[in-house]
Chains A and B, each alone.
Chain A
Amino acid sequence: MQAKQGDDAPSVVVAKENNALKLYSLDDAAARYGLDIGMPLANARAICPQLIVFDADETADAQLMNDIADWCDRFTPLVALDPPHGLYLDITGCAHLFGGEAALSKLVCDLLTTQKFTVSAAIASTSICARTLTRHVHGRIVADGEEARAVAPLPVSALGASEAITTGLRRAGLKTIGDVASRARYEITARFGAAFTARLDQALGQGDGPINPRKPLPDYIVEKRFAEPVLTDTVIAATLSKLAQMLVAAMARDGKGARQLTACFFRTDGVVRGIVVDTGQAVTRTEIIDRLFRERLESLSDPLDPGFGFDLIRLSASRTEIVVQQQHDLDAHVHDNDELAALIDRIAARIGSHRVVVHLPQDTHIPESAELPVPAQQNLAAASQAAWQPRIEAEPPLRPLRLFERPEEIQVIAQVPDGPPARFVWRRASHAVVRAEGPERIAMEWWRPDGKGLTRDYFRVEDEAGLRFWVYRDGLYDRERDPQTNEPVQPAWFMHGLFA
């Protein structure tokens, strides 16, 4: 598909190929001069000096195709890209919603044409057959079993095989697909490879290749189309809650609950906005879905922009799981867990799921990596089973309550080089140490790939005001060498944490 140029001057888009500028695409006016895709720009200029030339921007092209594919989501959930300029729409089971295949094809093409795209479409029972047809005829609908007859008269180039194969076939005197099909398969396979034969079979309707849809098919979809685009928040909210009711009813029939919900807002001008909400446990109630979306919509950093209005709102459950019915009234504990999970879902919907965390203990001695924050939505159950190291009875705390992610360098005066600090300066304030305990030696984990580092000697120190610190000396005097420079280390001191 290409955007039409309005004026009459022939214009082309060029791209660099093998160090030469070649025509990448052209408009009708340029085609009338006899220009063709793949022709060097110099030749084209010689044929037609008044040519207007644009540079190809493949990223923008891909983006545009993506936007069109987004827009096509309103017809079927299975839309696949066929780069560079094609789209597959799997309309199995969807066509009747739009009044049949012919009506659907006409609707899609008309809507795209009004947006000034040139469209060539075909409907067939295999994707490759339809693709082959679009190369030469527009609007063809092939009935089941008629594929071979439909594609037979088309030239072999329509198959979209590589340049070498197309040329080879033409040199062998096989000009149309019908010619190729009439040869025995083993001859074709021996000459052009099994991939080409498979493609040929698919084009002839004998076996289907899978398409590669952009999005996984949601388990449940409900949608509402509007004759008149809707703009106001109240209508949108009311629609969402009505859709949520339908979705919940559909899921309840199968005993399922949603773990991930997607609301898609299709704007009349083709922009599609999808909003995803994850939940920590399967949701089976309309109010909860409602509230999650309300929180999410309120907190969007770029709010939902209705533009000229939405003409389709779709709610889908992208991930579902079977709900085990629990009897809540007799077991308060289960009820509490549910409530907590719902609270976490709400907070996560508003501020992001990575911001609500629980901690899992890690099997390491290095204090700063001993605990791993993980999203609470997915790991609540794992965290409640985690095995933390129990504290030692009748010992004062051995680990600080507040730990600096990056230890801060301090200036230390120590009586003996290996001893505890006598005085240190942290954040521009000087602290005199009145008592210290240590060292607690923590060696780096040399068996890990990133475990090379200096041994740390940790000291617990208290200053004259009663503040308690966890400081360490990075490296041992005379015994360790810098891993990079292999020089004896000059140990530095760091502040790593604060004790209560």
Chain B
Amino acid sequence: MTSARMSALASLRGSIERIEAQSGSPSLARAALGHAELDAALQGGLALGAVHEVFCEGGRQSAAATGFVAGLARRVTPRRPLIWVRQDFSEREVGRLSMSGLAELGLDPRRLVMVRASDVEDALRTTADALACDAVGAVVLEVWGETHKLDLVASRKLTLAAQGAGVTGVLLRIAASPAPSTAETRWIVRAAHSPPASPWQMWGAPLFDAELVRNRHGPLGRWIMEWKCDECLFSEFTAADSQSVAAAPAHRPHQARAQLQDRLAG
């Protein structure tokens, strides 16, 4: 009797330890993004085998967020297949993902398999399935608008699947506001404007104003960064006469969220 209880207790303790070790370990493999400050904040780069969330405020910002997500996926896995899951509705709202556009960003359209799910449930299931397949490099789930289907439970499922196979998942949430989730990092991405120059000068590489509003193992921050299409990495934006953007104080996730909601309401 007592020995049975002892062994049960021991096994419970063991499983608790395992859970804690999993959630608390910063030992996940990481892929450097190229931006020095950012990589420092992320302790070496974007965690692999985890789920990350990228939000944008409305349909208009969707391309910037998509570009950022594509960049993350490219950094995470240069050669392995990329599964892009999206809802039918999202295509109508913000346009379809253009392969030539992806190629222009330095990604290889041949690696991309697109799944066109009719609703969020299908999309979630497919994403969990793809995250559990270790032949896949990264999985992107594109969801338009608010949905109650993508709650803490769903998010936990995705995280577990990603941890199990070591596949990185990125959630692209267009026109949505952050909600509690088990994501490793959470970003709000906007387009950053090009530095003032003569009107006949053309813009350069894609510019992102990326705000890190959740980071489970490090500080938060906000950076203007550039995606270098040729080298396929993020880098500091260095224009001589660029307007400097004040970095937001660290650990301000709540205020950032409030701001976001203001904008959505407005």
Where the two chains meet, the residues of A that have a C-beta atom closer than 8 Å to any C-beta of B are 335-340, 342-344, 346-347, 350-351, 355-359, 361, 367, 370-371, 373, 376, 380, 383-386, 388-391, 393-394, 396-405, 427, 429, 434-437, 460, 462, 464-468, 497-500
Count of B interface residues, CB-CB < 8 Å: 67
Residues of A within 8 A of B64 (CB): 467, 500
User: When the two chains form their complex, are residues A462 and B95 in contact, meaning their CB atoms are under 8 A apart?
Assistant: no
Given contacts A339-B135, A465-B193, 4 further A-B contacts (CB under 8 A): A351-B115, A356-B113, A357-B113, A405-B91
User: When the two chains form their complex, are residues A401 and B204 in contact, meaning their CB atoms are under 8 A apart?
Assistant: no
The complex places the Cα of A390 from the Cα of B229 at a distance, in Å, of 12
Q: Does B63 contact A (CB under 8 A)?
A: yes
Q: Does B97 contact A (CB under 8 A)?
A: yes
Identify the closest chain B residue to A376 (Cβ). Answer: B113
Looking at the assembled complex, report how far the CB atom of A409 sits from the nearest CB atom of chain B, in whole angstroms: 15
User: When the two chains form their complex, are residues B103 and A390 in contact, meaning their CB atoms are under 8 A apart?
Assistant: yes
B94-113: which residues lie under 8 A (CB-CB) from chain A? 94-106, 108-113
The complex places the Cα of A465 from the Cα of B64 at a distance, in Å, of 12
The complex places the Cα of A388 from the Cα of B109 at a distance, in Å, of 8
The complex places the Cα of A337 from the Cα of B113 at a distance, in Å, of 13
Residues of A within 8 A of B99 (CB): 359, 361, 370-371, 388
User: When the two chains form their complex, are residues A396 and B202 in contact, meaning their CB atoms are under 8 A apart?
Assistant: yes
The complex places the Cα of A498 from the Cα of B65 at a distance, in Å, of 11
Q: Does B61 contact A (CB under 8 A)?
A: yes
Looking at the assembled complex, report how far the CB atom of A69 sits from the nearest CB atom of chain B, in whole angstroms: 33
Residues of B within 8 A of A465 (CB): 191, 193
Identify the closest chain A residue to B106 (Cβ). Answer: A391
Residues of A within 8 A of B83 (CB): 343
The complex places the Cα of A384 from the Cα of B80 at a distance, in Å, of 12
The complex places the Cα of A367 from the Cα of B98 at a distance, in Å, of 9
Contact with A along B112-125 (1 / 0, CB 8 A): 11111110001001
User: When the two chains form their complex, are residues A358 and B59 in contact, meaning their CB atoms are under 8 A apart?
Assistant: no
Q: Does B126 contact A (CB under 8 A)?
A: yes
A336, A388, A467: the one within 8 Å of B61 (CB): A467
Residues of B within 8 A of A499 (CB): 63, 67, 101, 206
B102, B136, B201: the one within 8 Å of A340 (CB): B136
Looking at the assembled complex, report how far the CB atom of A1 sits from the nearest CB atom of chain B, in whole angstroms: 42
User: When the two chains form their complex, are residues B126 and A500 in contact, meaning their CB atoms are under 8 A apart?
Assistant: no
Q: How many A-B residue pairs have CB under 8 A?
A: 201
The complex places the Cα of A335 from the Cα of B99 at a distance, in Å, of 26
The complex places the Cα of A467 from the Cα of B129 at a distance, in Å, of 35
The complex places the Cα of A376 from the Cα of B103 at a distance, in Å, of 19
Nearest first, the 9 closest Cβ-Cβ pairs linking A and B are A500-B67, A466-B193, A498-B63, A339-B135, A397-B104, A402-B95, A401-B101, A403-B98, A336-B135
User: When the two chains form their complex, are residues B203 and A346 in contact, meaning their CB atoms are under 8 A apart?
Assistant: no
Q: Does B199 contact A (CB under 8 A)?
A: yes
Identify the closest chain B residue to A343 (Cβ). Answer: B133
Looking at the assembled complex, report how far the CB atom of A458 sits from the nearest CB atom of chain B, in whole angstroms: 13
Looking at the assembled complex, report how far the CB atom of A352 sits from the nearest CB atom of chain B, in whole angstroms: 9
Q: Does B32 contact A (CB under 8 A)?
A: no
Q: Does B234 contact A (CB under 8 A)?
A: no
B56-99: which residues lie under 8 A (CB-CB) from chain A? 59-64, 66-68, 70, 80-81, 83, 91-92, 94-99
The complex places the Cα of A436 from the Cα of B199 at a distance, in Å, of 7
Residues of B within 8 A of A435 (CB): 194, 197, 199, 201-203
The complex places the Cα of A85 from the Cα of B137 at a distance, in Å, of 58
Given the interface pairs A343-B130, A355-B115, A397-B229, the reply to whether A403 lies near B96 with Cβ below 8 Å is yes
B218-266: which residues lie under 8 A (CB-CB) from chain A? 227, 229-230
Q: Does B40 contact A (CB under 8 A)?
A: no
Residues of A within 8 A of B194 (CB): 435, 462, 466
Given the interface pairs A351-B115, A401-B63, the reply to whether A388 lies near B130 with Cβ below 8 Å is no
The complex places the Cα of A339 from the Cα of B207 at a distance, in Å, of 36
User: When the two chains form their complex, are residues B116 and A402 in contact, meaning their CB atoms are under 8 A apart?
Assistant: no
A351, A396, A468: the one within 8 Å of B118 (CB): A351
The complex places the Cα of A497 from the Cα of B114 at a distance, in Å, of 19
User: When the two chains form their complex, are residues B98 and A400 in contact, meaning their CB atoms are under 8 A apart?
Assistant: yes
Q: Does B17 contact A (CB under 8 A)?
A: no
Residues of A within 8 A of B91 (CB): 405
Q: Please name 29 pairs of A and B residues whose Cβ atoms are closer than 8 Å in the assembled complex, sorted by A.
A: A338-B135, A339-B134, A340-B133, A347-B115, A351-B115, A355-B116, A356-B116, A359-B109, A371-B99, A371-B109, A386-B109, A388-B109, A391-B103, A396-B205, A397-B104, A397-B229, A401-B66, A401-B70, A436-B199, A437-B202, A465-B191, A466-B192, A467-B63, A468-B63, A497-B98, A498-B63, A500-B66, A500-B70, A500-B191
Given the interface pairs A340-B136, A351-B118, A396-B229, the reply to whether A402 lies near B97 with Cβ below 8 Å is yes
User: When the two chains form their complex, are residues A434 and B135 in contact, meaning their CB atoms are under 8 A apart?
Assistant: no
Given the interface pairs A396-B229, A399-B101, A399-B104, the reply to whether A373 lies near B114 with Cβ below 8 Å is yes
Identify the closest chain A residue to B135 (Cβ). Answer: A339
A371, A399, A500: the one within 8 Å of B227 (CB): A500
Identify the closest chain A residue to B209 (Cβ). Answer: A466
The complex places the Cα of A400 from the Cα of B202 at a distance, in Å, of 15
User: When the two chains form their complex, are residues A402 and B203 in contact, meaning their CB atoms are under 8 A apart?
Assistant: no
Identify the closest chain B residue to A466 (Cβ). Answer: B193
The complex places the Cα of A385 from the Cα of B108 at a distance, in Å, of 11
Residues of B within 8 A of A385 (CB): 110
Residues of A within 8 A of B118 (CB): 351, 355
Identify the closest chain A residue to B102 (Cβ). Answer: A401
Residues of B within 8 A of A405 (CB): 91-92, 95-96
Residues of A within 8 A of B209 (CB): 466
A367, A371, A436, A464: the one within 8 Å of B193 (CB): A464
Identify the closest chain B residue to A500 (Cβ). Answer: B67
Residues of A within 8 A of B67 (CB): 401, 499-500
User: When the two chains form their complex, are residues A397 and B101 in contact, meaning their CB atoms are under 8 A apart?
Assistant: yes
User: When the two chains form their complex, are residues A396 and B115 in contact, meaning their CB atoms are under 8 A apart?
Assistant: no
Residues of A within 8 A of B62 (CB): 402, 498
